[in-house]
Amino acid sequence: MTPAPIYIAATGIISPLGRGLAATEQALWAHRSAIVPLQIFPLLQAGPLPVGQISDLAPHPSLPRTHQLAREAAQMAMQGCTEPPDAIILGCTTGGILTTEQLLRDKSCDRQAYGYHGLLSVARDVAEACGCPGPALMLSTACSSSAVALALAMSLLREGRMRRILAGGVDSLSRLTYFGFHSLQLVDRNGCRPFDLFRQGTTVAEGAAMLLLTTERPESPLAVLLGAGLSCDAYHPAAPHPEGRGALAAMQAALADACLPPSAVDYISLHGTGTRDNDTSEAKAIRTLFPSPPPLSSIKGAMGHSLGAAGAIEAVVSGLVVSRGFLPGNAGCDHVDPALGLEPQIMPKGRPVRTVLSNSFGFGGNNGALVIGREDMLAPDTSRPPKKPLAIHGCACLTGAGLMPDTLARLRAGGRAAGMPAMELLGPGLPPRFIRRAKRLTRLSLQLAASITDATPGMEKPSAIFMGTGWGSLTETCDFLTKLDESAEQFPSPTDFVGSVHNSPASQIAILLGATGANVTLSGGDYSFEQALLAADSLLEDSGRSALLLSADEGHARLSPLLDPSVDRNSPLADGGGALYVNRDRRNARCLVRLPFYGRGAEGDLMERLIETLGGPENTAEDFAAVFAGIPAGTAAQGDRQLADFRRLTGGRIPVCRYRDFLGQFASASAVAAVLAVAYLKEGMIPGALLDGDDLRFEDGRKILVLGTGNFLTAMEFSRP
């Protein structure tokens, strides 16, 4: 299979430097800094630190700042387009947290007011504004989030699953990130000075960038996305590997993906945050890969570090560099640090550029590198064989009933597995250093990783981690904000800040297992596991490597009833998760898994399209032994209608298990349902208690469908190899 080129057909960008391509290019040529003292929210103590903020964004009566930025950038990118994108794929770390912070300070109990807190709400809002009928995916890998989003979009387009994807990133300033980076002593009071001898830290910023990627050549493409590489340091929750091993691996993978040697790179868009460790680590990686490095610079000295949006903003700038032929200057660097062994391009300069390597590195050692270039830099032969299906070789789950054996036993006896696993279950056998400061979600995730390792004898350690979480680490987020308020903003917790980022649990798993491949966290609300599965199926290599695919969420007494519309504050909390060990090898596999359908949950012919994807009504009724239907309580009426439509269209012949009735209402319940499907396929029997009838025994050829309903409609198919 020879994939089509991935063209950057249109872009939208809003940053402290300005709005749109023209304003961004003008600001870069002017070599000016847009870093100024914080203004967008008041402080209780001391003077404001420098930030990169967008000063002319008018407050919206209901839409959080992050959503406003995303919507504006998306409208720019889609201006004049007559056809909606097939998917929305964004990177973000903050979601609606700035609004949530104020609501919590006001002690608001209005659940509707918290409706834009979750990361998925940003992608969903953009999808609705663009009329996108397909998936709205939200990646959260700290400061590499939008670079990873672009890598996933490129992979899906190459495989021919989609033709047009709107991909990018967004983040707004918030108290969490402003005080969080300050608590880590990673903020330079003089502004961001990448690669400067006297640099003392970064400058937190905000912004958004969207790229309309397509396999159909537009009339005037800005540039072409040539390759992408992902890696994980598997070293430390917040510090990069001191020798830059993960950064080096990501750059090497991106160039290999683009079929280009290092000598073909004309310019490197540095991650260049201005922190001592990050700049040192990146410099070592570059010197290892490039004996004579090409021109390079970081634009963060001009606009600050926009966190999850940085990779997309710098991808748009890289497209400008290629199409306009210039090198941005390294603002903020007055005295180059000689210990780094690099000479950044200090002042902007006109020069033809064919290929740019753009770096993005984040907390937890989550690394992404992109290669962006001119169309004539496309490799003449980039043929890739079709990927084999994902094969499952091991599984594990955690529920209110306990670990997988206890969960299966409880359900087999006709009981419910809803509730929260006891804390004493979350840690036995794990190295003390991993759980000493870890709170609930990280412990849940580490225990799942340890359990699946123990339950899969002879298993090689996975090279990649794909994780879903609907709400992230609620305990750390709540504890950080509570301590911030109680101390009048004087003593925020650096440990809670690092633990609050959505990708923290997956990064801890990577450190535990030594997994240095792709480390991708997705936050898709009730569809988080499905999003992780889609990412794993697209990004996992066909080269014998294995991955841990999991999803987990924690119940939090204060935040869960406010944030999750499916959680009833008058009912006991439930949480947990499920994990699968996957690769592309069918030999000795327990079963195969695929995600044949993922659509936005509007009414109309959506269910008809899902069933046609499965082979039509008759084949669906014959092929599937049972349907495990996920009906989130927050969208119960819509989910009930969708399930009724499914049953009507398939003749009502397939037994249905409404699995949340047994597992409880939490975002990652579908991951547990997936584990149950694997277990029952192996047994060839589903307990009658789950189907409101007798035990269901079925022959080898039958499959199990895990159906997701509500705002999106998803189908996961499990079959024997």
Residue 543: CATH number of its domain: 3.40.47.10
CA distance 213 to 360: 19
Which is more confidently placed, 434 or 547?
547
Average pLDDT over every residue of 677-703: 94
DSSP letters, 33-71, are ---EE--SS--SSSPPPEEB--TT----SSS-HHHHHHH
* pLDDT exceeds cutoff 90 at 384: no
- Please indicate, yes or no, if residue 384 is contained in any of the structural domains: no
608-613 mean pLDDT = 96
| Residue 685 lies inside a defined structural domain of this protein | yes
Residue 382: inside a domain, yes or no?
no
Residues 561 and 694 in one domain: no
Residues 613 and 571 in one domain: no
Whether residues 15 and 121 fall in one domain: yes
305 belongs to the catalytic site: yes
Per-residue pLDDT for 381 more than 70? no
Please indicate, yes or no, whether residues 371 and 395 belong to a single structural domain of this protein: no
Does residue 19 belong to any structural domain of this protein?
Answer: yes
pLDDT grade for 456, boundaries at 50, 70 and 90: confident
Q: Classify 134 as helix, strand or coil.
A: coil
The count of residues in the chain is 721
Residue 462 lies in a domain: yes
258 and 294 assigned to the same domain: yes
Q: Is the pTM of this model over 0.85?
A: yes
Annotated catalytic residue: which of 117, 182, 241, 271?
A: 271
Contact 90, 137 (CB under 8 A): yes
Which of 377, 407, 440 is the last residue before a domain boundary?
377
Using the 3D structure, point to which of 544, 565, 591 is the last residue of a domain.
Answer: 591
| Residue 131: inside a domain | yes
Q: Are both 186 and 335 inside the same structural domain?
A: yes
Q: Residues 287, 400: one domain?
A: no
Task: Provide mean pLDDT across the span 509-530.
Answer: 97
% the chain with pLDDT above 70:
99
Q: How many CB atoms lie within 10 A of CB 700?
A: 8
Number of domains the chain is built from? 3
Whether 1 shows a pLDDT value over 50: the answer reads: no
Confidence class of residue 3 from pLDDT cuts 50, 70 and 90?
A: low
Residues 431 and 552 both lie in one domain:
yes
Give me the residues paired with residue 630 across strands: 708
Distance CA 438, CA 240 (A): 20
Parent domain of 477: 390-591
**Mean pLDDT throughout 520-532?**
98
Q: pLDDT value at position 445?
A: 97
Q: Is the pLDDT of residue 601 over 80?
A: no
> Is residue 385 one of the residues assigned to a domain?
no
Same domain, 327 and 469: no
Active-site position among 182, 241, 305, 393: 305
Q: Extract the tokens encoding 568.
A: 């009833």
Q: Is the predicted pLDDT of residue 380 greater than 80, yes or no?
A: no
Local confidence band at 603 (pLDDT 50, 70, 90 cut-offs): low
Does 149 lie in the same domain as 197?
yes
pLDDT reported for residue 2:
55
Are 587 and 604 within one domain? no
Annotated active-site residue in 92, 143, 397, 478: 143
Q: How open is the CA angle 50-51-52, to the nearest 5 degrees?
A: 140
Angle at 152 between CA 148 and CA 155, to 5 degrees: 140
Q: Is 117 tagged catalytic? A: no
Q: What is the CA radius of gyration of the chain?
A: 24
Last residue of a domain, one of 591, 606, 634: 591
Per-residue pLDDT, 428? 84
Q: Is residue 383 part of a domain?
A: no
Both 362 and 481 in a single domain?
Answer: no
Sequence-distant contacts of 682-691: CB under 8 A, at least 24 apart: 682/590, 682/591, 686/625, 686/626, 686/655, 686/657, 687/411, 687/412, 687/414, 689/411, 689/412, 689/413, 689/414, 689/415, 690/411, 690/657, 690/659, 690/662, 691/626, 691/655, 691/656, 691/657
The pLDDT > 90 percentage for the chain reads: 91
Q: Token digits for 219?
A: 């009339």
Residue 119: Cβ-neighbour burial (10 angstroms; 0-12, 13-18, 19+): buried
